[in-house]
Amino acid sequence: MLLLCGDLTDYGLPDEARMLTRELQAVRVPIVSVLGNHDHESGAAADVARILAETGVHVLDGDSCVVAGVGFAGVKGFAGGFGRGALGPWGEEIIKRFVHEAVNEALKLETALARLRSTTRVALLHYSPVRDTVEGEPLEIFPYLGCSRLEEPLTRYPVTAVFHGHAHHGRLEGRTANGLPVYNVSLPLLRQHYPERPLRIVELPVS
């Protein structure tokens, strides 16, 4: 199957989504996706998701699905930083709303994971849940590349693998605190490491 970790469009325009669906017509395997921050740029993320879904793409946003025996839980995620550097809900109201968005995305992921009963489970995100896979990016932008709050549901509901995008100059692989493999599959990073075939193939056990 093909997994897409967001930023499927440049400016989140429905016409861009329609262009993508024409390209995806050549794909003969199931497609599971989440949206990214680019897909929200024009305020038409719901239309982008609908256009993709109408062509058979499983677009997840706090949802789950099972494809070929593999369970998928997906959210966009959000920013906020990692570990001791994670932003807390204190001070100005706008800071609290920012943190609330990160918490809400983590709760959506937890809800989606809790629904899955398959042995093999995959978390699909746009923002990173761990610092490991953003290492290599400028330190100043770490807080904008992901959030440790997204890692918390993965501790309560362990998965077989985690995939995310967004960090264009990070690392290909990392792990959560409880040892779950995390794969950064942002296209610029894949092009850097696999210029002849910019994609990542991961084999998952299916019982």
pLDDT value at position 207?
A: 67
Closest by CA to 163, choosing from 155, 173, 153, is 173
If you search the block for the tokens 């050549």, which residue do you land on? 26
Closest by CA to 82, choosing from 101, 102, 100, 96, is 102
Closest by CA to 87, choosing from 143, 154, 145, is 143
Rounded average pLDDT per 10-residue block, the chain, 207 residues: 97 98 95 98 98 97 96 98 94 97 98 96 98 97 97 96 97 97 98 95 87
pLDDT value at position 206?
A: 79
Residue boundaries of the structural domains of the chain: 60-193
pLDDT value at position 205?
A: 85
Domain boundaries 60-193, corresponding CATH code: 3.60.21.10
Report the half-sphere exposure of 132 (CA within 13 A, side-chain side): 18
**Backbone phi and psi for residue 14, each to the nearest 5 degrees, phi listed first:** -55, -35
What is the reported pTM? 0.96
Distances (CA, A) of 76 to 6, 110, 124, 185, 196: 7, 13, 8, 14, 28
Q: Yes or no: say if 60 and 6 are a contact pair by the CB < 8 Å rule.
A: no
